[in-house]
Amino acid sequence: MATINPFQMAQQQFDEVAQQLELSDNITRILRWPLREFHFQIPVQMDDGSMECFRGYRIQHNDALGPCKGGIRFHPAETVDTVRALGTWMTWKCAVADIPLGGGKGGVIVDPSGLSDAEKQRLCRGWIDQMWRNIGPRIDVPAPDVGTTPQMMGWMMDQYSKLIGSYTPGVITGKPLGGGGSRGRTEATGYGVVVTTREALKHLGINPNGCSASIQGFGNVAQYAAKFFKESLGVRVVAVSCWDRKDKTSYTYSNDDGIDYALLQSITDQYGSIDKAKAREHGIAIEPADAWLSKEVEILVPAAIESVITKENVGQIKPTVKVVAEGANGPCTPQADEVFRKNNVFVIPDILCNAGGVTCSYFEGVQNDMNYYWELEEVMERLDKKLTNAFASVLTMLERRKVYTRNAAYMVAIDRVVRAMELRGWI
């Protein structure tokens, strides 16, 4: 589905801003590539007694601001360039959110839906067996991403703790509640999408109440974005598009009067596939994959995978769309960006829009260090404050330099990372 290699896209985005900021060659060379890469095999004993070798990666892009931070993705189409891109974006995301962490990302080429729980557990423990010497609360802190869950983070934390001989909850975030996890982590990314959209609408002078949204994806990010759109802003979600595991294609599920996210959640399996018969029973229409893109809404939220809005399909977007909130990482290609720029669509770039997850992960690490856990209200309040401040920094940069929103967010991030590298004497 991807039309552009995501790492080339991440480098292209960086290059444009590096030029605008007139960064030196030395700084540019450091930041265009990850500082460290780990490529490894994970031998796993399968339930039938056979052995499979899975390909795993960990990319540590930059740790000038603090330990690397970023999820581990289990996906059959995982590539090292996707992991490199995601690791690079994590550096910028942590910097925009103004949290003292660097950028990293991990992955395994695997379809987790084809594994039993026992096989998944062995694969998670195997990932740690390969990487434990090079991660840690002060080195690199993984977290969940597409295809990985809080339970898997619990297994990984346990394996790391066993290997180093000391309970170390801060080695990994996104752990289950009661197992070192933070309240609010599950909701955090979707919540952040809604907080940043609220700020964008405020900036544009649009009242959210009465607006409608169309979302791609119905996984962790999209489900909570749908919930908080309705509960916090009164925004009607009229469509979600998601992958159907059995049919191996995606569909758009829509209802112009609004979809009840809780109902949809109740008929969605753990991998995000929706029960089509039950959806129809509840008056939800089932349309082709791309239908979510051409809905007459004010807010468009790609919250599934990368490189989905391209030069080929950006023309399908209706002029009613005022805000594109990038819940997913890298959903819009540079060619789509050009069209948004020309049409004055306010794009909330991924490194700002979906920074709620890593911000809450940072809170989780802080709570692990203190061994004291905050109430949900406290977590959500701190999240709101951090993301509102992050949005304000990007807006200030945008107004000062008169640049596209994505470039403004990159400028805020690059300034902070370069300053940290200077302070540490790297450059």
Tell me the window of 29-37, 116-124, 324-332, 399-407 that interacts with ligand NAD (CB under 6 A): 324-332
Among 159, 250, 310, 407, binds ligand NAD (CB under 6 A): 250
DSSP string, 100-144: S-EEEEEEEE--GGGS-HHHHHHHHHHHHHHHGGG-BTTTEEEEE
Number of chain residues interacting with ligand NAD (CB under 6 A): 26
Q: How far is the CB of 353 from ligand NAD (least distance, A)?
A: 9
216 binds ligand NAD (CB under 6 A): yes
Q: How far is the CB of 147 from ligand NAD (least distance, A)?
A: 6
Amino acid at 9: M
Q: Cβ neighbours of residue 222 under 8 Å, at least 6 residues apart?
A: 190, 215, 216, 240, 242, 301, 303, 304, 327
204 binds ligand NAD (CB under 6 A): no
* Best CA proximity match to 124, nearest among 104, 146, 151, 103: 151
C-beta of 354 vs 405, nearer to ligand NAD: 354
Segment 302 to 321, residues that bind ligand NAD, using CB under 6 A: 303-305
Specify the 3-state DSSP secondary structure of 147: coil
Segment 218 to 247, residues that bind ligand NAD, using CB under 6 A: 218-222, 241-243
The DSSP secondary-structure symbol of 37 reads: E
C-beta of 30 vs 153, nearer to ligand NAD: 153
Q: How far is the CB of 364 from ligand NAD (least distance, A)?
A: 12
Segment 162 to 191, residues that bind ligand NAD, using CB under 6 A: 189
C-beta of 211 vs 242, nearer to ligand NAD: 242
Specify the 3-state DSSP secondary structure of 77: coil
- Between helix 356-370 and helix 376-401 the angle, nearest 10°, is 130
Amino acid at 106: G
Look-up of token digits 């974006």:
89
Q: What is the CA radius of gyration of the chain?
A: 20
Among 357, 365, 386, 394, binds ligand NAD (CB under 6 A): 357
107 binds ligand NAD (CB under 6 A): no
Give the C-alpha separation, 181 to 363, whole Å: 10
- Contact between 319 and 298 under an 8 Å Cβ cutoff? The reply is no
State the residue number with the nearest CB to ligand NAD: 219
Give the C-alpha separation, 98 to 100, whole Å: 7
C-beta of 2 vs 163, nearer to ligand NAD: 2
Q: Cβ neighbours of residue 8 under 8 Å, at least 6 residues apart?
A: 81
Give the C-alpha separation, 397 to 405, whole Å: 9
Q: How far is the CB of 124 from ligand NAD (least distance, A)?
A: 16
Q: How many CA atoms lie within 13 A of 180 on its CB side?
A: 27
Segment 371 to 390, residues that bind ligand NAD, using CB under 6 A: none
C-beta of 23 vs 301, nearer to ligand NAD: 301
Segment 135 to 154, residues that bind ligand NAD, using CB under 6 A: 145-147
C-beta of 7 vs 218, nearer to ligand NAD: 218
Q: How far is the CB of 425 from ligand NAD (least distance, A)?
A: 32
Among 159, 307, 329, 405, binds ligand NAD (CB under 6 A): 329
- Which residue is catalytic, options 93, 105, 175, 230? 105
**Tokens standing for residue 278:** 């039950």
Q: Is 105 a catalytic residue?
A: yes
393-404 burial, b for 16+ CB within 10 Å, e for fewer?
bbbebbeeeebb
C-beta of 161 vs 329, nearer to ligand NAD: 329
Q: Cβ neighbours of residue 134 under 8 Å, at least 6 residues apart?
A: 36, 38, 58, 60, 140
Q: How far is the CB of 22 from ligand NAD (least distance, A)?
A: 31
> Interface with ligand NAD by CB under 6 A: which residues?
1, 145-147, 189, 216-222, 241-243, 250, 272, 289, 303-305, 327-329, 354, 357
Active-site positions read 105
